Amino acid sequence: MQFSSSLLENAVSEFAKLPGIGKKTALRLVLHLLKQETPSVLGFSETILKMRQEIKFCQRCYNVADADICSICANSMRKQDLICVVENIRDVIAIESTQQYNGIYHVLGGVISPLDGIGPNELNIEALVNRVQKENVAEIIFALNPNIQGDTTIYYIQKKLNAVPVKITTIARGIAFGGELEYTDEMTLARSISNRQPIESYMAK
């Protein structure tokens, strides 16, 4: 792509660095911003930078936060003895969006994956164990992606918490709403049969 302005070219290059944004899309976005009034572009630019400079990670659960403690941990209306363990911030947003969960979180920052060089020390596992030992935690719910890495992480943490009297559960695995039995893989189908639920609990949902 040939540009007659290096200012335009640099802006397009910056946008094209973002994941999933190619040169053509970047040009479309930059030309859109070029059409906006300067204060509006200033707002865009400052908001992004402010986010990067000022955002904090909750000292308790490692979720993104505006203060030292995130708004979820600070909310006394939520069950403080129910911890949902997730891989990353995106999972917190996904679960919060269901508006069905009333406990708090613990963000691991990943899952154990030796092939990617991620061991337990790279994750917020020690902090979780400390939390469970110090705080009065009734239940830990693992909400990790159902794959080998997720299962390994659950197994590792479970062993670490062996001595602590805490209930450990994992979110249900089965066939997704709207899914079709015919196209479901064997492992999921087998698990959904062995973990079958009484019909009342199903209808109550």
Which residues are at the interface with its own copies (CB under 8 A)? 1-8, 10-11, 14-15, 17-21, 25, 27-34, 36, 38, 41-55, 63-66, 70-72, 89-90, 92-93, 96-97, 99
Q: How far is the CB of 41 from its own copies (least distance, A)?
A: 4
Written as one letter, the residue type at 170 is: T
Helices and strands in the chain, H and E counts: 8, 6
Taking alpha carbons only, the member of 91, 88, 139, 83 closest to residue 111 is: 88
Cβ pair 104, 83 in contact under 8 A = yes
Q: How far is the CB of 174 from its own copies (least distance, A)?
A: 24
For residue 61, give every residue at least 6 positions away whose Cβ sits within 8 Å of its Cβ, in sequence order, or none: 70, 72, 73, 83, 104, 105, 106, 107
Q: What does the alpha-carbon distance between residue 5 and residue 81 come to, in Å, rounded to a whole number?
A: 58
Q: What does the alpha-carbon distance between residue 33 and residue 29 come to, in Å, rounded to a whole number?
A: 6
Cβ pair 82, 102 in contact under 8 A = yes
Cβ pair 98, 41 in contact under 8 A = no
Please tell me the total number of residues recorded for the chain in this structure.
205
Nearer to its own copies by Cβ, of 90 and 173: the residue is: 90
Taking alpha carbons only, the member of 52, 62, 3 closest to residue 30 is: 3
Nearer to its own copies by Cβ, of 15 and 156: the residue is: 15
Q: How far is the CB of 167 from its own copies (least distance, A)?
A: 25
Nearer to its own copies by Cβ, of 20 and 114: the residue is: 20
Nearer to its own copies by Cβ, of 143 and 154: the residue is: 143
Nearer to its own copies by Cβ, of 70 and 132: the residue is: 70
Q: How far is the CB of 25 from its own copies (least distance, A)?
A: 7
Nearer to its own copies by Cβ, of 81 and 96: the residue is: 96
Q: How far is the CB of 37 from its own copies (least distance, A)?
A: 9
Q: How far is the CB of 87 from its own copies (least distance, A)?
A: 13
